[in-house]
A and B are shown apart, each in its own frame.
Chain A
């Protein structure tokens, strides 16, 4: 597809890879919101990102931020600020980037799935949940107007293996924070440091409306496990989600009320969808309930 005209999506800071994914001799050649782009490390050591044409020729240079272990760019002229994560300054935490998983579905579906506690026992069996403990206790989901973010708080779930560092099952407390249609982070009970929260972040790169790459990171208190072990734990979780996501129909997220009510009232998902609707976002959203009932283009 061609570059989107969705003004909201164009003015987001969006991930396009990890810092080490764009080097001198190996650029990252990819796509963002339907626009082909190319990222490379330039002679002065900074990362440059350009729009490219069909032949791969560089066009317009894009604004770039190197933050949180990742490369962010925007295609718009008046971008909303990228989220602030003060936890990155906290002593004792460690950043481990996970890489990406490509998923053939709307980027919005990937964010929505990340917010859903209900699928843990079925999809992440013996990691993030297990039957028969399938009950999602009441929690609070809200749009925080002052910061323009979606939050879910007071979430709690019993988990067999909540993190790589977990040696026993635990009742995990969760908070979710959605700062952009394509960016969300969760805070969950750290298995080894009483009172502390581990961070898991999801940056979704929207390639096309129904194709995305889910980049993620963890920022835990964990001195026990190697980076590779933390990576593998997180990749396992994401690869369990992927087939489920690709089978959700329609691929584009329906925002018209009544089109797809989750069986179990999922407050965070509903709040996220309400927030998207308020923003008039159209990228990754089902256009017309009547015309797009299947994945066939």
Chain B
């Protein structure tokens, strides 16, 4: 069975749990004491991921790190219909990869602000929040342009692993003292994701339908 090295409060672990649930693939978790134990920094864990980061997935002995790489792997292996990651159309592939890479930009900024505000990590929270706003401006502009052309997702007219990858640390931004109130495109997109069949929550991301919706 698939094993996910997991921390429940991690947005990067959560995106894997969310996608596995959408795909209907069974898995078990290996809980990692990310906080307060900082287990991801110890030697045993670094033998599994030398970067000392979560998540890591073990599929029957194939060990893969990096949330975006894991999403791409899972889509390629378990999404029979091929809707979540279109690898046949070069343009669709390019767009998906572009927004997959953008997810790390969101982790580096919004997630850092949250680690500071919630778990007291010692880092420059002003810089983190500023970086998050810069990333969210870009994301919001893109989502609004998408709505103009009748496409409601990051990489096209249907949800892809890029949406799953960018979603958690946008949704969790308020935990890090980042207000999403002015990002209307983002807020409508968050609401669309929460309405997906087989959506699951994590602490800090609630299933609520009070966000404004775009006409679809």
Q: Which residues of A contact B (CB under 8 A)?
A: 18, 21, 97-102, 104, 213, 226-229, 231-232, 235-237, 239-240, 242-243
Contacts and interface: CB of A to CB of B under 8 A. Distances in A.
Contact of B31 (A226, A239, A243): A226
A21 B36 contact: yes
A168 to B, nearest CB: 20
Contact of B203 (A102, A227, A229, A239): A239
Q: Interface centre among A101, A102, A232, A237, by most B CB within 10 Å?
A: A232
Contacts of B31: 226, 228-229, 232
Contacts of B97: none
Main secondary structure of the interface of A (DSSP, over half): helix
Interface in B111-158: 117-120
Interface string B204-216: 1010000000000
A100 B35 CA distance: 9
Contact of B204 (A21, A213, A243): A243
B9 interface: yes
B116 to A, nearest CB: 9
Interface of B: 7-9, 31-33, 35-37, 39, 117-120, 174-175, 177, 203-204, 206
Nearest to B204: A239
B8 A102 contact: no
Contacts of B119: 99-102
A232 B204 contact: no
Given A239-B203, A243-B175, A232 B8 contact: yes
B36 A18 contact: yes
Given A242-B175, A243-B175, A228 B120 contact: no
In the complex, the 10 A-B pairs of residues with the closest C-beta atoms, listed nearest first? A99-B36, A239-B203, A228-B33, A228-B31, A240-B203, A232-B8, A236-B203, A236-B8, A102-B120, A232-B31
Contacts of A21: 36
A228 B37 CA distance: 9
B7 A232 contact: yes
Contacts of B37: 228, 231
Given A101-B119, A228-B37, 10 more contacts: A21-B36, A226-B31, A235-B8, A236-B8, A236-B9, A236-B203, A239-B9, A240-B204, A242-B175, A243-B206
Nearest to B7: A232
B117 A104 contact: yes
Contact of A213 (B33, B120, B175, B206): B120
B34 to A, nearest CB: 9
A182 B119 CA distance: 19
Contact of A242 (B32, B39, B204): B204
Contacts of A240: 203-204
Nearest to B39: A228
B120 A100 contact: yes
Given A236-B203, A240-B203, A242-B175, A231 B118 contact: no
A164 B9 CA distance: 16
B118 A242 contact: yes
Contacts of B8: 232, 235-236
B120 to A, nearest CB: 5
11 contacts: A99-B35, A104-B177, A213-B120, A226-B31, A228-B33, A229-B31, A231-B33, A232-B31, A235-B9, A235-B203, A239-B118
A21 B33 CA distance: 15
A227 B36 CA distance: 12
A237 B203 CA distance: 8
A243 B174 contact: yes
Nearest to B31: A228
Nearest to A235: B9
A97 B204 CA distance: 21
B51 to A, nearest CB: 20
A18 B33 CA distance: 15
Q: Interface centre among A97, A228, A236, by most B CB within 10 Å?
A: A228
Contacts of A227: 33
A50 B174 CA distance: 34
A290 B118 CA distance: 31
B32 to A, nearest CB: 7
Contacts of A99: 35-36, 119
Given A239-B204, A242-B118, A243-B175, A228 B32 contact: yes
